[in-house]
Amino acid sequence: MLGGGDASQKYQAFTLRQSPLTYVSSPATAGGSSSTLKVFVNNVQWNEVPTLEDQGPGDHVFVTQTDDDGKTSVQFGDGLNGARLPTGQENVQAVYRKGIGLPGMVDAGQLSFLLNRPPGVRAVTNPQPAEGGEDRESADSARENASLAILTLDRIVSIEDYENFARAFAGVAKALATWSWSGLVRGVFVTVAGPDGALIDPASSTYSSLLAAMQRFGDPHTPLRVASYRKALFQISARLVLAPDRVANPQPVLDAAETALRGSFSFAARSFGQPVVLSEVMAVLQNVAGVQAVEFGQLFRDDDLPGLNWLLPAAAPQPGSDLNLTAAELLTLDPRPVDLGIVS
């Protein structure tokens, strides 16, 4: 129950008691997600619209807004732009799901009990891992994705449109679009990655929704392939020359150096096909307070022999035959502890 309608009020609003409101993957929208919220007034379902502007005085519609605390409010019309609510006691009801975000990305077999156990059920488990979960957008992410949506205007024409559309799609954190050829027809190959570097399984709803949406909002006759990116890792071995006043207590400098490396070479900071250059690793370390110089021992990819390389490449699809294209790599720092020491 949301409450009772009052026909004397304009733009009457209610706040959902449970938060956050859940959105699920959907190929029907350019953003890739749809709300689970359904609102009923006198047992008649009203429809959610982006804005009350240009809605008719008798249209049974509502809009939603979510504040910084994740609470969602439902607002109705004024009798000119959308219908007012009819007067009644507890005649406004809502059905919706709550809960969203990366904490729900459980592994297969991780769930072992129900919050409410129906009679006769002794045990429960999840045979498959959860997929498609994503936290609420940060302010920076929302600003970036809003500009991407404006660039595409819910249609896909150019190669940049394919990339921007995929990047703004729910459940996709990074995307790279490349021209390809399928026989004599030019096609598109799109590499994608999920939030926090998650792989996007071809069997997942995020993958199928993205592919269907891109075909719907683009040219359905253009051959289109979508593939999850390839993870690539590298390792560093280095010794630091510290400032004289840091020699007695070097551990804070070592900790700061590793934190700087992980921030600069994380999934969020790197792009598909972006190589790692020895000089940029050196710049990161020498910008750490207390570091005067750096002596490198090794810089190498995990899939290569240990050694000191000035450049670590990361593969990216090159325009060509669709059959020969492989997904782009994203090269990040190995999650194991970094081999950092002090020059005595």
**Tens of pLDDT, residues 174-209:** 999 999 887 778 899 999 999 889 999 998 888 999
Q: If you average pLDDT over residues 62-71, what whole number do you get?
A: 89
Residue 142: predicted pLDDT: 62
Structural tokens at position 26? 């959907």
* Residue pointed to by tokens 């959902």: 16
Is 0.75 topped by the overall pTM? no
Instruction: Tell me if residue 254 falls in helix, strand or coil.
Output: helix
Give CB contacts under 8 A, 24+ apart, made by 294-298.
294/238, 294/239, 294/240, 294/241, 295/238, 295/239, 295/240, 295/241, 295/343, 296/236, 296/237, 296/238, 297/237, 297/238, 297/239, 297/339, 298/235, 298/236, 298/237, 298/339
Single out the residue of 45, 52, 71 nearest to residue 11, CA to CA: 52
Fill in the DSSP letter of residue 29: S
pLDDT greater at residue 271 or residue 168: 271
Single out the residue of 143, 154, 151 nearest to residue 50, CA to CA: 154
Structural tokens at position 258? 């590793």
Residue type, 22: T
Residue 283: predicted pLDDT: 96
Residue 141: predicted pLDDT: 61
pLDDT in tens, 83-96: 999 999 999 999 99
Instruction: Tell me if residue 329 falls in helix, strand or coil.
Output: strand
Task: State the pLDDT confidence band at 311, using cuts at 50, 70 and 90.
Answer: very high
Strands of the 38-41 sheet, one edge to the other: 13-15, 72-75, 61-66, 44-48, 38-41, 92-95
pLDDT in tens, 237-274: 999 999 999 988 999 999 999 999 999 999 999 999 99
Instruction: Give the largest Cα separation in the chain, rounded.
Output: 81
Q: If you average pLDDT over residues 295-324, what whole number do you get?
A: 90
Residue 147: predicted pLDDT: 56
Task: State the pLDDT confidence band at 275, using cuts at 50, 70 and 90.
Answer: very high
Single out the residue of 85, 124, 82, 101 nearest to residue 2, CA to CA: 85
> Cβ(237)–Cβ(298) under 8 Å?
yes
- Alpha-helical regions (H) of the chain: 139-152, 159-167, 205-217, 251-264, 278-286
pLDDT greater than 60 at residue 333: yes
Distance CA 287, CA 37 (A): 49
pLDDT in tens, 122-166: 888 989 887 777 777 666 666 665 555 566 567 888 899 999 999
Single out the residue of 215, 220, 238 nearest to residue 298, CA to CA: 238
Mean pLDDT of the chain: 89
Residue type, 159: I
Q: How many CB atoms lie within 10 A of CB 268?
A: 11
Distance CA 318, CA 273 (A): 10
Domains, the chain, ordered by start: 13-95 (no CATH), 139-228 (3.30.70.1350), 230-342 (no CATH)
